[in-house]
Structure formats: structure tokens, C-alpha cells
Chain A
Amino acid sequence: MLFNSFHFVFFFVIVTAIYFAIPHKFRWFLLLSASCYFYMVFVPIYILILGFTIVIDYFAGIYLEKTQGKKKKWFLIASLIANIGVLAVFKYYNFLNENLTILLKTFIIQNPIPYLSILLPIGLSFHTFQAMSYTIEVYRGNQKAERNFGIYALYVMFYPQLVAGPIERPQNLLHQFYEKHYFEYERVVDGLKMILFGLFKKIVIADRLAIYVNAVYNNPEQHNGFTLIVATIFFAFQIYCDFSAYSEIAIGTAQVMGFKLMTNFNRPYFSQSISEFWKRWHISLSSWFKDYLYISLGGNKVTIPRWYFNLFIVFLISGLWHGANWTYIIWGGLNGFYLVFAIITKKYRDGFSNLIRLNHFPKINGFFQIMTTFILANFAWIFFRANNLENAALIIKKIFTQWGELFIPTSSMMAYSFFSILFLLVIEIKREYFNEKISFMYNKNIVVRNLSYSFLIILILLFGVFDGGQFIYFQF
């Protein structure tokens, strides 16, 4: 079920109304049933895959708590293999097989392994990682094993964040299912505001920009470098609005019912370095990789070359997490390279900054750093968005060698796209730098508040793309 659909509006209103109407002891069951329905709207049969990992991890959790020593480690490994195994089959099998075919072809050998004709279950990487965080935390002793199977299933399947995060941790979410939530005015209204703003970002900005981005990126051979740069910048805003919108709607939906989910985005395009960017972009995934992979590899408490390796490998795997395609792997690797390169060159960059006295003008320096980070992120987005590596290479080549007139399908479409980015920037700048001073949706005056809500709704009706379709991150 898509958040930006009438189906979801009805679903959300009905589930929330019943949630507050029924006694607390039945609420987990309502949320679990609703979550099952929410997931089954996509491809019903795939609920069985979820069910499989839920059963495995539920018992793994209990045994992990009960046992010690080597046996405990084996239970963890078994649970991780089950989770990663499902991911491997549904997400990576055909990709690996395809690459094997190419490899064998070079030796003129035919690949005997058949391809699987399967659809990738929606949000598989998200709920797999959330399930894995549970078993790892139980293994580490930071979380007690959940005995109520229904509550554990709900932890994995909680519908607001089931298909595209935020990827929650058991310490933050599990206990909330036992707490009684009342209908609190401020909390409910704040949650609804987040949903409204999320819908605005998705329908008015992300889906609007997607029209141009898709037209250009799906036919890069027909466009020049200038058009490809504009499409790449549009994509940077599209993916930000698309994904952060999903997170805001998820967090808002949960908040209306009394649940607090973790923040997933914090205006990443104001980052002054790639390292900061990853602390502001998809925070729940970045922190997952940090907590469960980077630190497990030794983090920065190892030799310097090993530290660089740790950083690079984490981002490479992060790229692979996003999709079974070399474009994602290179995107991840590129981000890892940025980070390592930034660490290696920090001394020289600071020295250069001192030399030209840029550090005496912190605002100008900050602006340059923001722009540099944005350009680097955009360059990496080319790989993320390109349909394949050949297209990515062609796009980069054209950007550097072939300039011309900007492709304008219709002037109104371009105008809406530019205005939507401008509107977003105004809001983001206000939130980043002037949040305390100017407030519309959180203004003390009820008239200003009501007018700002109405204004957003009118903008959605006037400029929203109502046939935009699903969120980008659903495919992961």
C-alpha cells in the first residue's frame, strides 16, 4: 500500500480510530493484523517470507538469551544466515548468476545454473536489517529476548516503517508496544503535520522532478551534458524528497498512534563534508552499518590502512544493500572513496584554507564546503540513478564533453520543477538557520497555523502529481 494513495488514507483513518477505541491489550493484535494487510496489498504470498524470518529470529532470540559461549555464537550465525540467505536468494541470486555467466563466457563456458523468475519482495532489505538488529542486540545483551511472538512479529512488521524504514532498533521500538498510548492532542497534531509535509514533498516535489529525470535518464544518449547535469541535480532533490517524505509520513503515522520512531533525515544537503552527509542522510541505515558492521570490523581503533579499508568496505556493502546492480556498488564505493580521500587530504586542505585565509571567513568557507559536498553527492547520484554502468559512463562523458541547449519538454513543467526546488530550499534554509525565528505550521497564532496547513493542501491540489507512483526506496 502506498502512503500517497487514497487506499492508505482510508486504511490509516480506520486503523487509528479502532486503535484508540479498543483496550490497550488488543492493540498489538490490531496493529499486527493491519501490518499484515498493509504488506499483503503488494504481493500477498511474500508475507510467508517475512513469516519465515520472523519465526527463525523469534526462536533465535530466545535461545541466544538462554545459551552462552560458542553455542550462543552459533545461534546468532544461524539467524544471520537465515536472514541474509533470504536476501541473497530474492535480491542477489540473479545478479550473481548474471555475473557468473559473463565470467564463464570469457572462458567460452556456458553457465549451467538457471535464473530464478521472482519478484523482489517490497522493502526486503529494510525488514531484514531490522530483524538482524534484534538478534545482534540480544546476542550482545543489550536487549532481552521478546517472549510474545505477536509483539516480536509486530516489531518486524510495524506498518509505518515496514517497507522503507526508518530501520528501527529493538531498544527503541519493542518496549513501546507495551506502553499505553492516549489520544494526546499535541502529539497527534504534530504527527499529522509531518504526514502532510511528507505528502507535499512526495507529491509536489519528488514526483514532479521525477518526470524530467525519467525522461532524461531513460534516454541519456539523446541528451547533452547540460541537460544531464540539470537532470542529475533534479534527481538529487527528487530522491531526497521522495525518501525523506516516506520517512516523515512513517514517523508521523507512528506518532499519531503514540510511537516514536528514529529521525532518518536531517537536511543532508547542508552538510559540509561527505562524512557529515552520511550523518544526516538515511540516518537509520548509516547508524546500522556503523553499529553492526563498522565497529565489528574494528572501526577506527585499528591500523590506519585497516581503518581506510573498514570505511571503504562498509560503503561498498551499503551500495550493495541498495540494489543488486554494479551501479549501486560503484555508488557505495565512490562514497567510501570520498570519505577515505577526505581523511587523507584533510591536513593539506586545512593548510590550503589557511594559506588563502578562507578559514577567516567561516560563512564563505562553509558555503564552499556545502557546495563541494553537494557536487560530490550529485556525481555519485549519477551511478545511483543510471539504468546501467554504460549509461552512467555515457552521462559522465557527455557532462564533460558535450554541451548544448537545455531539453525543455514543456515550459510549464520546467517552471513547476524549478519552483518546487526553490520552495523546498526556502523551507530547508528556514529550518536550518532560522527555525526559532520564523514558524508557520508551528506558529503560536492559530490563524497562521490553519492558513499554512491550508496553503500546503492547496499547493498539493494545484501542483501535485497524483499519478506519481511508488517511492524509490520501496525497491530496496
Chain B
Amino acid sequence: MEYNKYSTFIKFTLKLFVLIIIVILLDGIIGKTLNYFYFKQTSGDYYRATYAIEQATPDLLIFGSSRANHHYVPEVFEDSLNLSYLNVGRDGNFLLYHKALLTCILKRYTPKMIILDFNPGEMITKSDTYERLNTLLPYYSKYPEIDETIKLRGRFEGIKLWSKIYPYNSFLLNIISGNLNLQKKSRLDNKGYIPLSKTWNEPLKEIKRQIGDIDTNILNAYKSFIKNCKEKKVKLFIVVSPVFYSYGADSSIALAAKIANESNIPFIDYSKNDLFLNNKEYFQDVFHLNNEGAIMFSNLLVDSLNNMKS
């Protein structure tokens, strides 16, 4: 570079530096504001996760994805097992998320019983497996024990998290509705259980079975989940709740059952239960029981749990 070009370069560098300072300041201010309102929410999925991590002390916790959310009726469990209940299931969040959530919860208190709802194909890598861990981002650094799980999202995740806004990426409207209590008004939420009211009326079709390799990270999360519960002496039950179509031999279920058996953890599989298979009355869609189906399933499960106790 020639001499006069140096001065151009210095001018550029100085202006770029000013811009970076402005962006850092704005990022810090907006990020802090979002952080404040995120943890001030009083309804919605985000609030429920924070509540589970920071405040809740029920005897029974239900973990899992949307199927956990919609399949475990609180009154059935509370009445039959005489335990207080909280469902921490979350739409589109799977084992990696739940292992992280459990770690945070167990650090604060020890529940008496945990039910982990396990899905067919749960351990197979899906295209969005790691993307979906964005729900943990607001807890980054506040709960260092889950930082490693968050970093599974990508090798540059640590750099992205230099930004104070990034943990709340795409959360703005949810934060607003969570603070204005809009979700509570639009969605029935009974201790985390969200009943589905419709009956499935779509024509039958061939189900796409989930095939692929077992994801080592998910497998390790599953093992850690079991290990953490055992260390804290929490009664853990792993349950595959009913599905509409038969999945046949599912590699994830087979592996999960094997590991559970080796660890002396009860593994209860309803995926081949004739009462539910191909029974439209009990389903809202292929994967989710409606309220009627959920009550039926919850009663069956509670009977099994009581039998195991006796």
C-alpha cells in the first residue's frame, strides 16, 4: 500500500471502529431490555421453561416434546399417585433440551418422580435437531451447566453469543405476548398440560418412518438423563405414549429400552397398544392424542405405575 492509501485505510478503520462501538452499545441496551422482559413473562412456553428452572417444586415432572404436553392429564396423576404435578414438555424440543432442563432443575431441587415421554425416532438426527436448542439461549451463562449443550448448535455459537441480542433472536413477539399475558388467554394451559379438543378426520395414508443414524449427542443426553435421575434418587419412568400408526421396529425405541433395562429404569411402550393404534377417536392428528385419548392413556399409565409400585 502506498503512503496516501494508508491514510485512506486509517480513515476507514476509524469509521469502522465508531460503527462497531455504536452496534455494541445498541446491542447491549436492546439485549439487556430483552433479557429483563424475557424473565418477567407471566405466560407462554418461555415463561413455563423459566418457571420450571427457577421456581417450581412439584413432586412429579413430565418431560418430553409436544406429545408430553398433550398426553399427560394432571388430575389423573395427582389423584391416583397423590403427587403434585408439572408438565415441562415443550413443542418441538427433544432430549438434548430436556437433559439441559433437567440439569438446571436438579441443581435447585429434587422431584420425587419424573416421567420422560420418549418419541419414535427420537435418537435419529433430524435437520433441525440442533437449531431447536435456540430455546435454551436465554439461559446461556446464567446456567453454565447447559452451556455445552448450547454450543452443540454450531462451532461459531460461542461467537454469536457475544451479542446480547442474539439469545433472544426471533423471540420478540413471544416476549411481548408473554408479558401481556396473551398466550394464557388464547391457550388452555393446565399445569403445563395442553388438552387438544379435535378428533382426527383426515384420510389414512402411509406413514413416513424416520430412518437414519443414531445421533451420539442425543444418545449421550439420554444416558445422562438417566444417570442424573439415579444420582439424585429420582424415580424415573420412560414412556412411549400412544401413536396412531404402528412404527414397527423403531431403532430409537429399541436402543432406549435396552439402555433403560440395563439401568433398571422402567420403560413402558404404548406405541403398539391396540386400544390406540388406528383409533381416530383418540387422536387429533397422527402424533397427538386429543383430550379423550389423553385421559384414557393417563389412566392406563397410572395403573401401570401403581402396579409397578406394588
Contact indicator B19/A463 (Cβ below 8 Å): no
Q: Which of B99-107, B166-174, B235-243, B259-267 contacts A (4 or more CB under 8 A)?
A: B166-174
Does B159 count as interface, using CB distance less than 8 angstroms?
yes
The answer to whether A458 touches B26 (Cβ under 8 A) is yes
Comparing A42-50, A386-394, A449-457, the segment that makes contact with chain B is A449-457
Binary per-residue interface labels of chain B (43-60) against chain A in the complex, 1 for a CB within 8 Å, 0 otherwise: 000000000000000000
Task: Report Cα–Cα, A465/B132, bound state, in Å.
Answer: 12
Determine whether the beta carbon of A411 is less than 8 Å from that of B27.
no
Query: Interface 1/0s, chain A 169-212, versus B by CB < 8 A?
Result: 00000000000001111001100000000000000000000000
B306 → chain A closest CB, angstroms: 38
| Complex Cα–Cα for A188 and B13 (A) | 11
> B174 near A185 (CB under 8 angstroms)?
no
A309 close to chain B: CB less than 8 A = no
Among the listed B15, B131, B165, B173, which residue makes an inter-chain contact with A467, where contact means beta carbons less than 8 Å apart?
A: B131
Whether B27 pairs with A412 at a CB distance below 8 angstroms is: no
Q: Interface readout for B153-171 with A: 1 if CB under 8 Å, 0 if not?
A: 1101001100101101110
Tell me if A183 and B27 are in contact (CB < 8 A).
Answer: no
Known interface pairs A182-B5, A188-B12; A458-B170 also in contact (CB < 8 Å): no
- Bound-complex Cα distance A166 to B154 (A): 30
Q: Which residues of B sit under 8 angstroms from A464, Cβ to Cβ?
A: 169
In B234-281, which residues have CB < 8 Å from any A CB?
none
- Report Cα–Cα, A188/B10, bound state, in Å: 13
Contact A453 B170 (CB under 8 A): no
Please determine whether B23 and A458 come into contact, CB atoms closer than 8 angstroms.
Answer: yes
A465 touching B170, Cβ below 8 Å:
yes
Q: Does A108 contact B (CB under 8 A)?
A: no
| B5:A463 contact, CB within 8 angstroms | no
- Answer yes or no: B227 CB below 8 A from chain A CBs: no
Per-residue A-contact encoding for B1-25, CB less than 8 Å = 1, 0 else: 1100100110110010011001100
Contacts of B1 in A (CB 8 A): 20-21, 182-183
Contact of B8 among A7, A185, A462 (CB under 8 A): A185
**How many residues belonging to B are interface residues under a CB distance threshold of 8 Å?**
34
By a CB distance below 8 angstroms, the chain B residues around A222 are 202
Q: Map CB proximity to A onto B123-162 as digits: 1 under 8 Å, 0 otherwise.
A: 0000010110000000000000000000001101001100
Knowing A454-B22, A458-B23, A466-B160, the reply to whether A183 touches B8 (Cβ < 8 A) is yes
Do A463 and B169 have beta carbons less than 8 Å apart? Answer: yes
| B23 in contact with A457 (CB, 8 Å) | yes
Closest B residue to A459 using CB positions: B165
Measured CB to CB, the closest approach of chain A to B290, in angstroms, equals 18
Residues of chain A within 8 A (CB-CB) of B5 are 182-183
Given A182-B2, A183-B8, A185-B12, the answer on whether A461 and B27 have CB atoms closer than 8 Å is yes
Q: Are A411 and B26 in contact (CB under 8 A)?
A: no
Is A458's CB under 8 angstroms from B12's CB?
A: no
CA gap between A412 and B172 in the complex, in Å: 9
**Bound Cα distance A175, B12 (Å):** 27
- Measured in the bound complex, the distance between the Cα atoms of B20 and A450 in whole Å is 10
B22 touching A184, Cβ below 8 Å: no
B81 at the interface (CB under 8 A from A): no
A294 to B235, CA, bound (A): 74
B30 close to chain A: CB less than 8 A: yes
A467 contacts which chain B residues (CB < 8 A)?
A: 128, 130-131, 153-154
Identify A450's interface contact among B8, B22, B153, B159, CB under 8 A: B22
A-B contact pairs, 7 of them (CB 8 A): A20-B1, A21-B1, A182-B1, A188-B12, A412-B173, A461-B166, A462-B168
Other A-B contacts than A450-B18, A461-B166, A462-B30, 19 sampled, CB-CB below 8 A, are A5-B156, A6-B160, A7-B156, A21-B1, A185-B8, A189-B12, A411-B173, A453-B19, A454-B23, A458-B26, A458-B27, A461-B169, A462-B169, A462-B172, A463-B169, A463-B172, A465-B170, A466-B160, A467-B154
Query: What 6 pairs between A and B have smallest CB-CB spacing?
Result: A412-B173, A6-B156, A461-B165, A467-B131, A185-B8, A454-B22
